Chains A and B, each alone.
Chain A
């Protein structure tokens, strides 16, 4: 069963098309990743799906309600959390929870139960009276998620929820997302951390308002990338990168930490080609060359690069 169905959703701001005929489906209970660079149209799409921004044309059914015709019904059935963690820093933890409970119309007899549920999610039980502004970023973000889903919606939109949060908090946060999904909540999450995309059941990649790839992380790696990826560890990295970029057997290059990933085409015959170029011609010290399984990042670099060409 699909909990979100998007058909030709389009948003224009004047002459600028921010989202261009985007269509996709999200199944119930799925974690759906929405990837793309800043300004690719992720947030605009999410805002339309939440019913706070009217589409220019096209439509989407969210929880069975049209965002075009019934935005208010949509709002009643979703939770939303943005990258800004919309909490009030000058209110205490408890006051924030009570405020959102009030705004989402939680009835009084449910309030105490939901409040302790949110406190548990945020790991803040017993710390209700703390000022929200004094909490560390990771905790604040969990509290923000808790308040955003205090009405236990079937569908949750998270717009770059982990931006600006340390890696450990990010991992803990993804555990929360997994728990929500396990309980049957549909989660649509945007991110530009590609390693986070691996947690998603399905992913779409959006660029300049258009979907350029979709599928599970495995599908993306096999369907969109036919070339081999080689990882080279060498010294100095930057020089090697510049040299390799000019070779005709190299399709794309990118740096991963101290390593170089190259995407090789049909002109590539053997690893010796690389050794010749780097060690013999330019005396670069090669420590290791391995053929590796592509990461999502390799796939996206490939997709974005080939689109440019």
Chain B
């Protein structure tokens, strides 16, 4: 068994090494993707362009503006001097938010009345608008919090808050979305690499008729499949390592859990993906069909249904059932558990079982389809 598997794997590796373009795509695309996703798909909002229309021009109004800018979320880009500019600035997207401080701002503060500050937020991108408005609330509360004790002290009372919130974010303390994305990216890139390369390499043999020559030798199907997939499994593992290294260098993603456990789980996931690739190769007769099928099966579900970008819990129940079509869903849970939370296998062993089921399901399905095809062609 071993020598024949070795012969197949060696041959596959030689062909792969000779096909420099494909090899380049296999190794560098994942890293390229990681960079792209890491920087482009970013839900954190920094450097919000703030325009200020300070009608009061008092010491108090300036101190309020400074307290806003201190948060680093806001960049003061424009200082507005008359009414007509407000609309213009929002229209031209010169600022995402305009703060209007009325003439009587400081006066009202002196009289201990409620001073009103108006914020005009560009609501086209609802997501960003909500984040901006949260930041504004936070900044205002901050200011109030500093101001209140002073005023209370003037009347001889101590400040008292019945409940003080103390929220800490675990596993991703600064709530950076890249930390959340890197595990999903690993899953997505690995599943695409495994399914596309394995199905293409098998269908290529079918298309060129070389599979016939292998079939008449006494090699069995397991030796063939293991031999053919082995080089791609190794490439996928190299990809995974690459992504982890780049993820660490560029985005500070550190693997909290056990590396050996991570390796083992990744291997199971790659086998699950490979078995889908085998299934594709049985159904498709040309490389073109195989490629389209492989991309459709691997890319779309692993981005949309896996929980990589959109949380599964907030999907309608019927879509939630549909999410089970991709092994990426289970692997992403495992990855987040190991990489971000640093927990052990007891936290996700059930996900490993699902992954193993994928291997049996798709290899079984491939066997049935190929038997049926043999009868009719």
Contact = CB atoms under 8 A, between A and B. Distances in A.
A91 B16 CA distance: 10
A75 B215 CA distance: 9
B8 A103 contact: yes
Contacts of A54: 374
Contacts, number: 75
Chain A contact patch, size range = 20 to 34
Contact of B374 (A51, A53, A82, A86): A53
Contact of B214 (A78, A84, A98, A103): A103
Interface string A72-106: 10011011111010111011000100111111110
B219 A103 contact: yes
B209 A75 contact: no
Interface in B163-189: none
B215 A103 contact: no
B217 A86 contact: no
Given A52-B212, A78-B216, A103-B217, A88 B15 contact: yes
Contact of B208 (A78, A84, A105, A148): A84
B218 A76 contact: yes
Given A13-B376, A90-B15, A102-B4, A75 B217 contact: yes
Nearest to A85: B209
Given A91-B11, A99-B11, A103-B7, A13 B377 contact: yes
B375 interface: yes
Contacts of A86: 208-210, 212-213
B10 interface: yes
A257 interface: no
A50 interface: yes
A13 B14 contact: no
B213 A82 contact: yes
Contacts of A91: 11, 14-15, 18
Contacts of A126: none
Contact of A75 (B3, B4, B18, B218): B218
B11 A95 contact: yes
A136 interface: no
Contacts of B49: none
B6 interface: yes
Interface in B133-171: none
Contacts of B10: 99, 102
Nearest to A75: B218
B28 to A, nearest CB: 21
7 contacts: A13-B376, A13-B377, A80-B212, A90-B19, A91-B11, A98-B7, A102-B6
Interface of A: 13-14, 50-54, 72, 75-76, 78-82, 84, 86-88, 90-91, 95, 98-105, 148
Interface of B: 3-4, 6-8, 10-11, 14-15, 18-19, 208-210, 212-220, 374-377
Rank and list the top 6 A-B pairs by shortest CB-CB distance, nearest first.
A102-B7, A86-B213, A84-B209, A80-B216, A99-B11, A75-B218
Given A14-B376, A80-B216, A91-B11, 8 more contacts: A51-B216, A80-B213, A84-B212, A86-B212, A95-B14, A102-B4, A103-B4, A105-B218
